[in-house]
Amino acid sequence: MKKETFEAEPMKVLVIGGGGREHALVEKISESPAVSKIFAVSGNAGISQKALCFSLKEDDFPSLINLVKKNRIDLTVVGPEAPLAKGLVDVFQEEKLSIFGPCRKAARLESSKIFAREFMARWGIPTPEFTVASSLSQALKKLEKETYPVALKYDGLAAGKGVRIVSQPQEAISFLHDIFEKNIFSGDEPAVVIEKALSGLEVSCLVVTDGISYLPFAAAHDYKKALDGDKGDNTGGMGAYSPSFLLDEKTGQIIEKEIVQKTLRGLQKEGIDYRGILYFGLMLTEKGPFVLEYNVRFGDPETQVILPRMKNDLVEVMQATLAGRLKEIRLEWKKEKAVCVVLASAGYPGHYQTGEVITGLDRVKDVIVYHAGTRKDNNGNIVTAGGRVLGITGLAADLQQAREKVYLAAETIQFSGKFYRRDIASYPVRK
Ligand code: GLY
């Protein structure tokens, strides 16, 4: 009898988002031999070199479904947290469309700080003592009992601006007024978590999970403050490096046992089917690792140092995740270290100009330039279109060599108002 051979159909993949993280995802996905075409919503000037970009709102679910059905897209990958929190995955699943990311219920680990802290408390996951308040008067009353420094965390999504570490009552009162009186985060029912601020070293530990099995990614360090020496305002992240040289084997084992496994068990026991990336923002303290926050997606800029080191086919990993076959996969990493430095627009994370022409992109060598806030103008120039403009990633045998490549490229690329931190990967991130 004639033996039949089956060849997999080439896949079409849609990536939702338009930052450096999504550019790193698109680049990695484009390396997969299984993928024939990539689409992006809404992408940026870098992503558009590899993907067909559509200018749609990330929460316009009917249009996204329409795009996927019309173009027969096989897999959708969600970059940012907002569409996950709004239930994009649930809506796609109802339509029987394949999508990588957690459902709305699971996304509450990121979209509600109160839910996350209460979840950690329920399952014995190392968390600082905390209390919650849903009105200004309640928050002020609870604050009286606190010793400073205190961490105040707005309950909902706030694009990285919802957490304030305060060392004096006046600072705390001012932030609470912003939340409850001015409603700066536009929440329907503003609420806060009040907790003792932790001190130690911060590390981002990501895992991919199919709800039962999980695989840890190489850990990364993210530099969240705008200025050198961890000064200035909090940002989405000004740079990162991976792997971590601060995580010893013993701490890694504690993180897996006390944090990752307890979290996954808690999710299972609560009937939450978590499939996707789970990001543990950790603080390594004298008393061991504590969870600062969960994110339900890839980190940005962490992804820009994690994916270039990954040897696996990411699409294969994602498909195994969705099919519940993650235990069949082994992740493998390149030996080289990776450093990413973000070039930002003057004023970021506050007000900044856009439309500045970017030059020198064709003159950089031996680095990967991930686009974040960029677009093509009517004259064909690549111009700035956001606060974080580009992420430059270099790989080398050691961090110092990787830094040298990246900083050379950071000098070569020019745009009016460019600024970047000069100390990425030169010392650990400390709080
Ligand atoms: N770099 C921090 C984050 O992705 O949330």
User: For residue range 86-101, what is the model confidence (pLDDT) as tens digits?
Assistant: 999 999 999 999 999 9
User: For residue range 333-357, what is the model confidence (pLDDT) as tens digits?
Assistant: 999 999 999 999 999 999 999 999 9
pLDDT confidence tier of residue 423, bands split at 50, 70 and 90: very high
83 pLDDT more than 70: yes
Contact 245, 201 (CB under 8 A): no
Q: pLDDT over 90 for what percent of the chain? A: 94
Handedness of CA 192, 201, 124, 237 (dihedral sign): positive
Atom of ligand 1 nearest to the CA of 237: 1
Contact 278, 207 (CB under 8 A): yes
Instruction: Specify the DSSP class assigned to residue 168.
Output: S
Q: How far is the CA of 295 from the centre of ligand 1 (A)?
A: 8
User: Which among 81, 161, 202, 204 is the best mutation to test ligand 1's pocket, defined by most ligand atoms within 8 Å of the CB?
Assistant: 204
Point out which residues pair with 196 in neighbouring strands: 150
Average per-residue pLDDT in the chain?
96
Atom of ligand 1 nearest to the CA of 240: 1
pLDDT confidence tier of residue 295, bands split at 50, 70 and 90: very high
d(CA 366, CA 311): 18
Tell me how long the chain is: 431
Question: Residue 40 class from Cβ within 10 Å (0-12 exposed, 13-18 middle, 19+ buried)?
Answer: buried
Do the strands 337-345 and 388-396 form a parallel or antiparallel pair, or are they unpaired? antiparallel
pLDDT confidence tier of residue 161, bands split at 50, 70 and 90: confident
CB-ligand 1 contact for 302 (6 Å cutoff): yes
CB-ligand 1 contact for 293 (6 Å cutoff): no
Q: How far is the CA of 299 from the centre of ligand 1 (A)?
A: 4
Q: What topology is assigned to 337-419 in CATH?
A: Glycinamide Ribonucleotide Synthetase; Chain A, domain 4 (3.90.600)
Name the nearest CA neighbour of 32 among 316, 339, 372.
316
CB-ligand 1 contact for 81 (6 Å cutoff): no
d(CA 266, CA 98): 25
373 pLDDT more than 60: yes
Atom of ligand 1 nearest to the CA of 298: 4
> DSSP 3-state assignment of 31?
coil
Bigger pLDDT: 188 vs 265: 265
The residue contributing the CA closest to ligand 1 atom 3 is 299
The residue contributing the CA closest to ligand 1 atom 4 is 299
307 pLDDT more than 70: yes
The residue contributing the CA closest to ligand 1 atom 5 is 299
4 pLDDT more than 60: no
pTM equals 0.96
Q: How far is the CA of 159 from the centre of ligand 1 (A)?
A: 9
CB-ligand 1 contact for 80 (6 Å cutoff): no
- DSSP-assigned states of every residue in 290-320: EEEEEESS--TTTHHHHGGGB-S-HHHHHHH
Q: How far is the CA of 27 from the centre of ligand 1 (A)?
A: 19
pLDDT, position 352: 98
Q: What topology is assigned to 130-196 in CATH?
A: Dna Ligase; domain 1 (3.30.1490)
pLDDT, position 103: 98
Q: How far is the CA of 111 from the centre of ligand 1 (A)?
A: 13
User: Which among 222, 293, 340 is the best mutation to test ligand 1's pocket, defined by most ligand atoms within 8 Å of the CB?
Assistant: 222
Contact 342, 391 (CB under 8 A): yes
2 pLDDT more than 70: no
Atom of ligand 1 nearest to the CA of 293: 5
Domain boundaries, the chain: 12-101, 130-196, 199-328, 337-419
- DSSP-assigned states of every residue in 206-275: EEEE-SS-EEEPPPBEE--EEEGGGEEEE-S-SEEEES-SS--HHHHHHIIIIIIHHHHHHHHHTT----
Q: How far is the CA of 10 from the centre of ligand 1 (A)?
A: 32
d(CA 373, CA 355): 10
- Report, as an integer, the average pLDDT of 270-278: 97
292 pLDDT more than 60: yes
Q: How far is the CA of 218 from the centre of ligand 1 (A)?
A: 15
Atom of ligand 1 nearest to the CA of 160: 5
CB-ligand 1 contact for 299 (6 Å cutoff): yes
Instruction: Specify the DSSP class assigned to residue 3.
Output: P
The residue contributing the CA closest to ligand 1 atom 1 is 300
CB-ligand 1 contact for 17 (6 Å cutoff): no
pLDDT, position 429: 66
User: Which among 295, 303, 388 is the best mutation to test ligand 1's pocket, defined by most ligand atoms within 8 Å of the CB?
Assistant: 295
Residues 6+ apart with CB under 8 A from 183: 190
pLDDT, position 230: 92
Q: How far is the CA of 59 from the centre of ligand 1 (A)?
A: 20
Which pair of tokens denotes residue 313?
Answer: 């086919």
Q: Which CATH class is domain 199-328?
A: alpha beta
- Report, as an integer, the average pLDDT of 163-178: 95
1 pLDDT more than 60: no
Residues 6+ apart with CB under 8 A from 65: 91, 92, 95, 97
Alpha-carbon radius of gyration of the chain: 21
User: For the domain bounded by 12-101, which CATH number is listed?
Assistant: 3.40.50.20
